[in-house]
Amino acid sequence: MRHRLLILIATLCLPLGTALAEAPVVLVLGDSLSAGYGIDTERGWVARLAERIERTGWPHRVVNASVSGETTVGGLTRLPALLERHRPAVLVIQLGANDGLRGWDFAVMRENLTRLVIQGREAGARVLLIGVRLPPNYGASYTDGFQAVFMEVAAEQGVPLVPTLLKGVAEDWSLMQADGLHPTAEAQERLLDNVWPTLQPLLAD
């Protein structure tokens, strides 16, 4: 607590531009679930994360590098430049849903997620992995195997995992948009609540 207070005091003493530039970054690399598909992005869970971080006194700023339709392959293509530009203290990886929706091989997804975690860690970031569940129409065998990939990567790489971003949301059709894949604006706080307990410890040095 004393350490956080000293950081806050030091930050307040800096010019605004310098303070923003030197604030530790939380970089969110995700797909449409984090990009705020179908809703005002200012109401998305990542925007709410920035608000909660500020409200609870952490000095971090949030950079949302999420893109609708993004896959783990696309994430690997974009991540090096994002790491170089933002030098994040925390990297949140929320990718894989589109790999699953396209029926990609689990081995490819596992390798890509592993490489994303390693790249983030080698850049000095603390890494959080966020998983999702596929719709039940993909069949139990595929959906269970898909879910297991996140758990395997997290265990092998020793990084914290939020197993299911849409926990308590995907099961409630009133909280989902008409496509049945994306949560409504009203559900975004629940998504953040699913992430926050696992993310918050990574904000500490």
Catalytically active residues, by annotation: 32, 179, 182
Residue type, 80: P
Q: What is the DSSP letter of 24?
A: P
Token couple for 150: 């996140």
148 in Cβ contact with 161 (< 8 Å): no
Extended beta strands in the chain, E state: 25-30, 61-64, 90-94, 126-130, 161-162
Contact 33, 182 (CB under 8 A): yes
Rounded to a whole number of angstroms, the CA Rg of the chain reads: 17
Query: For every residue of 44-69, which 3-state class applies, written as one string?
Result: CHHHHHHHHHHHCCCCCEEEECCCCC
